[in-house]
Amino acid sequence: MNVMVAGGAGYIGSHATKLLLDAGHKVVVVDNLYRGHRAAVDSRADFVEADLAQTDVLEQTLREYRVECVMHFAALAYVGESVTDPLDYYDKNTGGTVSMLQAMKAAGVKKMVFSSTCATYGEPDDVPIVETMGQSPVSPYGWSKLFVERVLIDYAVSDPEFAFTALRYFNVAGASSDGSIGEDHEPETHLIPVICEAVLGVREKIVVFGTDYDTPDGTCIRDYIHVEDLCGAHILAMEKMQPGQTNFYNLGIGRGYSVKDIIESVKRVTGREFTIEYGERRAGDPPMLYANSEKIQGELGWKPNYTDLDEIVRTAWNWIEKHPDGYGD
């Protein structure tokens, strides 16, 4: 299949591009390189440097590469930043997707796999989270993604041939199993790479925000899904999607690991110690968030290959140890 990967120079998009190519699909990556890395894009893929706001460029690219499906990862994704600059998040995440859909409509492209988020659920009363639970985000980032889900539903009503799958992620972690690409954010906020940077001395210490939560060890619990498992679900969703289908799936491994679990795993994998500081809780951090992913497993036959925490951390460490400066750009 001919696939456009929007945001394909980013962490998840670059891994999806690699796996798509490995599976025999043809890929054109579209990325404005604002937070992506040109070096992360597989050399087998074509590359177009463009912003989602450039509807005409998107349409031209869709036509030129005879794209059959758009895999849409392009977005701003810092919750705190979305609070201080909400307009930018609504503009880039929600408005950018509308621009992409306009280009797809003009070019006659009828399939999209959309990168959504568990942030659309807000702070649920129960875990594990299932797709039928209410959605009430607590940040502009979450709302910007939920608004896209609404736009996709409404557009699908207007065009019975249009199909989409929205995948609601939990905590994405790890790196390519062959060590060729990995995670490089500026700033880095994800727990596993943050701890690995402390191991390498790239940062002075890690700070654990809160040790008095109602969890077994007092720290927050989250669901960590390996990036290759996540991207494999995108490819499966694309390949199985039929005209007119509208799907929503959670993506997680179905169990949670605490902050202290992650710390101990990094110690085991690296064999090294690092400085840990214990601080106060952060506002808006629920004690536990993890997914029920039975729906995608039952309907698409997806299942995670990485369920052991040390295996997930080991792939992240394999990349970060060899690339302490990320992609070096």
Decide whether 2-171+224-251 matches 191-222+254-322 in CATH topology.
no
Residue 236: its pLDDT value, please? Answer: 98
Average pLDDT over residues 83-98: 97
The pTM of this model reads: 0.97
Q: Is residue 257 over pLDDT 80?
A: yes
Is residue 41 predicted with pLDDT exceeding 80? yes
pLDDT tens for each residue of 10-19: 999 999 999 9
Cis peptide before 128 (omega within 30 of 0): yes
Q: Taking residues 322-326, what's their average pLDDT?
A: 94
Predicted local confidence at residue 113, as pLDDT: 98
121 flagged as catalytic: no
Active-site annotation holder among 121, 141, 224, 249: 141
Between CA 325 and CA 184 the distance in angstroms is 8
| For range 295-305, the mean pLDDT | 97
Q: Which fold has domain 2-171+224-251?
A: Rossmann fold (3.40.50)
Whether pLDDT at 284 is above 90: no
Q: Flag whether pLDDT at 2 surpasses 80.
A: yes
Mean predicted lDDT score pLDDT of the chain: 97
pLDDT-derived band of residue 233, with 50, 70 and 90 as boundaries? Answer: very high
Residue 282 confidence (pLDDT) above 90: no
pLDDT class for 125, splitting at 50, 70, 90? Answer: confident
Q: What is the pLDDT of residues 151-208, one digit of tens each?
A: 999 999 999 999 999 999 999 999 999 999 999 999 999 999 999 999 999 999 999 9
Greatest CA separation for the chain? 57
Tokens of 243: 């005209």
At 256 the pLDDT is 95
3-state secondary structure of 3: strand
pLDDT tens digits, 130-143: 999 999 999 999 99
CA distances from 153 to 82, 150, 162, 224, 230 (A): 24, 5, 10, 28, 23
Instruction: Grade residue 268 by pLDDT with cuts at 50, 70 and 90.
Output: very high
Taking the domain 191-222+254-322, which CATH number applies?
A: 3.90.25.10
pLDDT given for residue 217 in this prediction: 97
Residue 286: per-residue pLDDT: 86
Domain residue spans in the chain? 2-171+224-251, 191-222+254-322
Q: What share of the chain is helix, strand, coil (3-state, %, to 5)?
A: 40, 20, 40
Q: What is the dihedral of CA 159, 163, 168, 169, to 10 degrees?
A: -140
